């Protein structure tokens, strides 16, 4: 079930999704020039990546559910 706090914005046909207050700007990690190992060691950064991933999944589910409802609902007659 998607949380009530999911926010999404349509921008030119794309959907912009935030990961919450700690991941509002994507999933930033600080690798300290240790590449993937350094990124994996950044616990706070990886938490933002996971939060953003959860939000993307929630918004995707909401969009899919909306499409299902839209196709099942007959159009309104004027």
Q: What is the 3-state secondary structure (H, E, C) of the chain?
A: CCCCCCCEEEECCEEEECCCCCCCCCCCCCCCCCHHHHHHHCHHHHHHHHHHHHHHHHHHHHHHHHHHHHHHCCCCCC
Structural domain contains residue 37: yes
For the cut 60, the answer to whether the pLDDT of residue 2 exceeds it is no
For the cut 50, the answer to whether the pLDDT of residue 1 exceeds it is no
User: What pLDDT sits at residue 38?
Assistant: 93
Structural domain tally of the chain?
1
Structural domain contains residue 1: no
How does residue 12 score in pLDDT terms, banded at 50, 70 and 90? confident
How does residue 11 score in pLDDT terms, banded at 50, 70 and 90? low
Task: Note down the domain range covering 29.
Answer: 8-72
User: Whole-number mean pLDDT of the chain?
Assistant: 78
Structural domain contains residue 77: no
């Amino acid at each position: 079930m998607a949380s009530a706090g999911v926010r999404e914005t349509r921008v030119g046909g794309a959907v912009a999704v935030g990961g919450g207050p700690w991941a509002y700007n994507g999933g930033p990690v600080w690798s300290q020039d240790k590449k993937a190992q350094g990124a994996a060691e950044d616990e706070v950064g990886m938490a933002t990546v996971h939060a953003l991933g959860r939000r993307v999944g929630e918004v995707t589910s909401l969009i899919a559910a909306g499409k299902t409802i839209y196709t099942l609902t007959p159009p309104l007659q004027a």
